[in-house]
Structure 1
Amino acid sequence: MTAIQGFAARPALRFWSLALMGSAVLAASAQVSLPMWPVPATLQTLAVLLLGALGGSRLGTASVLLYLVEGAMGLPVFANGAAGPAALMGPTAGFLLGFVASAWIAGLAGRGAIRQATVLTAAHLAVFVPGVVWLASFVGWERAWMAGFLLFVPGTAVKTALAFATMRALRRG
């Protein structure tokens, strides 16, 4: 390997190292869980918003994708230590897949408080679209709406506000 090739490899190594750390943060946030059925309340969406908002769309999305691959491979990274392909086919699969879009959208937060708050809110809501649609195939539309969205509105508001405050504080320093 020439010196030029080694230099070119460093940004990729840094990117994937950060993405791996991001997936670990997301895995840890999944273990902070209130056991609700069929969808547990966790800190995952807060982590997803921060990964995207602070790392950017590419890094945030890469972190989420690594997390999903880790879980699919059997590592106990999903909520309450769930793992394996079955977890990606169960009632919460739509929410897990929604994390990908959420991280990408959060990465578009840019500058300005109004834009950041709007983008983070949209990113958080992006988790619920595939989540509720997928969940409805298990429990029906009415129950999916109630158990997969309405019950989460207060926590969603708090986590979005925390992500906004954290992003604003860290970007100032």
Structure 2
Amino acid sequence: MTHPTANPIERRFTSPVRTALTIIAGAALMTIAAKTQIPFWPVPMTLHTLAVMALAIAFGPRIAVAIFFAYLVAGAAGLPVFSGSPERGIGLAYMAGPTGGYLAGYLVASWLVGTLALGRGLVGRTGAMLAGLVIVYALGLAWLAAYVPLDRLLSVGVIPFLLGDLVKIGLVAAGGATLPAVFTQLRGQRP
């Protein structure tokens, strides 16, 4: 039975088996996104931010957090799911390294974006993703400060990645605005 206050996105996932399969598939997708590198300026970008934001928009806060938590558990267990692993380490050693704060930020952003985007249109979903990105950078920089001198923190932890992250948010926003109409047309229904 669905809880009467459950949000409409999450009502689709009432079967425990369906929910578990969604979480496993989402964690696998998160791994693929982290491992995918696209040439970009000033640094190559992964699709990590895109996956976090898209999954939060698509599935809502509860499922999105479960997906990212499962991804973190897989990484903590030593599976090479993170960007740059196993070359830059695996497991808890990787998570305690310079990118640990960004990983925590993605977990919080999964909840925040999923919550803020519920029932919102394009502008509201985009705003939710931007708020999530602020959280990712805030936690990432706070953690990175243990590894990088404060005067270089922004030049190492934000500036090389900001343009790529904004492009990814734009792609998720555009996809979120376009895909529902495409799926409706493919099913032969009127928009």
TM over 0.5: yes
1:89–1:34 distance in 2 versus 1, CA, 3 Å: farther
Match among 78, 89, 95 for residue 88 of structure 1: 95
Q: Match for residue 115 of structure 1?
A: 124
Q: What is the percentage of aligned positions where both structures have the same residue? A: 35
* Superposition deviation, residue 123 in structure 1: 1.4
CA contact (8 A) 1:33 1:80 kept: no
Runs of 5+ in structure 2 lacking a partner?
1-13, 184-191
Q: TM-score, normalised by structure 1?
A: 0.86
Structure 1 runs (4+) deviating above 6 angstroms are: none
Distance in 2 (alpha carbons) for counterparts of 1:171 and 1:143: 42
CA distance in 2, matches of 1:24, 1:145: 31
Structure 1: how far apart are the matches of 2:173 and 2:29? 18
Count of residue correspondences: 161
Cross-structure match for 1:143: 152
Q: CA RMSD in A?
A: 1.9
- How high is the TM-score relative to the length of structure 2? 0.78
**Contact conserved, 2:122 with 2:176, CA < 8 A, in 1?**
no
Where is the helix percentage greater, Structure 1 or Structure 2? 1
> Residues 41-77 of structure 1: CA distance to partner in whole angstroms, max 9, x if unpaired?
4210100001100011111110000000000001000
Match of 1:59 in 2: 63
Equivalent residue number for residue 170 of structure 1? 179
Alignment-derived partner of residue 80 in structure 2? 76
Do 1:136 and 1:143's aligned partners in 2 also have CA atoms closer than 8 Å?
no
* Other structure's SS at 1:143 match: helix
